[in-house]
Amino acid sequence: MKIINVVGTRPNFIKIAPIMEQMSMVSAIDPFLLHTGQHYDENMNQVFFDQLGIPKPDMYLGVGSGNNANQVSEIIKCIDPVLDQERPDALLVVGDVNSTVACAWAASYRKIPVIHVEAGLRSFDRSMPEEVNRIITDQLSDLLFVTEKSGIENLFREGVDSEKIHFVGNVMVDTLKKNRDLAERDSRILETLKLESKQYIVLTLHRPSNVDTIGVLKPILEVINELSKELKVVFSVHPRTREKIKEFDLEHITQPFSTIGPLPYLDMVCLMSHSKLVLTDSGGIQEETTILRVPCVTIRENTERPITIEKGTNLLGGIQRDSILMAVKSILEFREKDRGVPDLWDGKTAERIVKVILSWAIRL
């Protein structure tokens, strides 16, 4: 059974690694890795393949950057001849990026079954491109693998056949659990940045709703500037965010921060593990901090990962000064024993995924 596995961005790489590993152990599956090239920065691309042991892609599309509509259309245009040439039995996509929805769309047109890993997550905010991508991908998919029980409820509400839905846990956790000790042993990021454990905050910001307008980005940076007077702030700056800070002339606000570029996976895991608090608008980091048992404040008005809030590892801080400060104060008061781990986030998700795929393939 030939399965094309699609990656395009950093979160995709982290999720696909254990799936490719499990597939390679099964003689009944011939895994084909396709990289769209949606992320092409070295620290968001090749270094992740090297550190996570992902095999060299069988195909690289090199689509590069662009606005959402152009990027989706370019990926569809590039992958369609690959589907025609390779004639896979199924196509597997992960997450909610443009590569996910574009490849699912192209496969669906050719009547190739689509498998979606991390299905059913909903922020209920359609102004987010990722939310649109999630909804469309789930409607096109033949197998839907869910990370948390809210995903099952969301898919039922949208009329997805229950036989297509499988609650398997979070494949990102597989990668984190496998590499956490390695990150602790091999990373030198704390020494490089002259950091002491639990004496700093980690910040990441990348969502267009937060960084594309000065009226939103400036107040967020200002409140974090306030926090930097109490604890050092390490700001891992996404290329898009860096451009906007420069465009809006906000460098003076971030001057007290320790600003660094996107980090290799092991360094980022080590940096978060030893932080006192993580401030982010990333969905994946909400999940990683849950397993690392590090308090997280999400700088958004909503989250598609409500289980992280239910388990006491994450709070929504919104985008206003007072709400962010209140969330920071509250999350730091939570006792570690009050922070739980979601069901099936045990490091065995990829194994469950492959078992379901094999059982499903027999019925095709």
Residue showing tokens 């024993």: 337
Q: Which ranges constitute the DSSP H helices of 187-319? A: 189-193, 208-211, 214-227, 239-247, 251-254, 265-273, 283-292, 307-310
**Do residues 34 and 6 lie in contact, with contact meaning Cβ atoms separated by under 8 Å?**
yes
Exposure b/e, 189-207, CB count within 10 A at least 16 = b? bbeeeebeeeebbbbbbbb
Q: What is the distance in angstroms between the CA of the first residue and the CA of the last residue of the chain?
A: 11
Active site residue 35: no
Alpha-carbon distance of 212 to 27, in angstroms, equals 47
Alpha-carbon distance of 227 to 197, in angstroms, equals 17
Other Cβ atoms less than 10 A from the Cβ of 27: the count is 6
Q: For residue 117, which of 107, 106, 97 has the smallest C-alpha distance?
A: 97
Q: For residue 52, which of 24, 9, 15 has the smallest C-alpha distance?
A: 15
Q: Indicate if the alpha-carbon torsion angle 22, 347, 303, 243 is positive or negative.
A: negative
Burial of 317 (0-12, 13-18, 19+ CB in 10 A): buried
Amino acid at 102: A
**Cα torsion at 346, 350, 352, 357 (round to 10°)?**
170
List 206, 238, 252, 274, catalytic entry:
206
Phi-psi region at 112: left, alpha or beta (left = phi > 0; alpha = psi -120 to 50): beta
Angle CA(35)–CA(81)–CA(133) in degrees, nearest 5?
Answer: 55
**Which residues form the catalytic set?**
206
